[in-house]
Amino acid sequence: MSLVYGQLVIGPPGSGKTTYCNGMGEFLESLGRKVAIVNIDPANENMEYNPKIDITELIKHDEVMSTFKLGPNGALVYCMEFLETNIDWLIKKILNLKDHYFLFDCPGQVELYTHHESMNGITAKLTENLLRLCSVNLIDSHHCSDPGKYLSSLMVCTSTMLNLGLPHVNIMTKFDEMKRFSDQLDFNIDFYTEVLDLKYLLDKLDEDPLTAKYKKLNAALVDVVEMYSLVRFQPLDIKNKALLLKVKNEVDKAGGYVFGGNEPQDVQTLLACAVGAEPETERVSTLDAYF
How many Å apart are CA 191 and CA 113, to the nearest integer? 26
Q: Long-range contacts of range 264-272, CB-CB < 8 Å, 24 or more positions apart?
A: 264/32, 267/31, 267/32, 271/31, 271/241, 271/245, 272/245
pLDDT of residue 178: 87
What pLDDT, on a 0 to 100 scale, did the predictor assign at position 2?
A: 74
The candidate with the shortest Cα–Cα distance to 54, out of 99, 101, 10, 94, is 94
All domains in the chain, ordered by first residue: 4-196+230-290 (3.40.50.300)
Q: What is the pLDDT of residue 260?
A: 81
pLDDT at position 180 is 87
Q: What pLDDT score does 267 carry?
A: 56
Q: Strand, helix or coil at 3?
A: coil
pLDDT score, position 279: 47
Q: Which spans in 41-95 are helix H?
A: 61-68, 72-85, 87-95
User: Could you report the per-residue pLDDT of 209-259, keeping only the tens digit for each?
Assistant: 999 999 999 999 999 999 999 999 999 999 999 999 999 999 999 999 998
The pLDDT of residue 46 = 83
Q: pTM for this structure?
A: 0.92
Q: Where are the beta strands (DSSP E) in 145-239?
A: 168-173, 233-235
pLDDT, one tens digit for every residue, the chain (291 residues): 578 999 999 999 999 999 999 999 999 999 999 999 999 999 998 898 999 999 999 999 999 999 999 999 999 999 999 999 999 999 999 999 999 999 999 999 999 999 999 999 999 999 997 799 999 999 999 999 999 999 999 999 999 999 999 999 999 999 999 888 888 899 999 999 999 999 999 999 999 999 999 999 999 999 999 999 999 999 999 999 999 999 999 999 999 999 886 665 545 545 555 555 554 444 545 555 666
Which of 192, 185, 199, 188 is CA-nearest to residue 170?
192
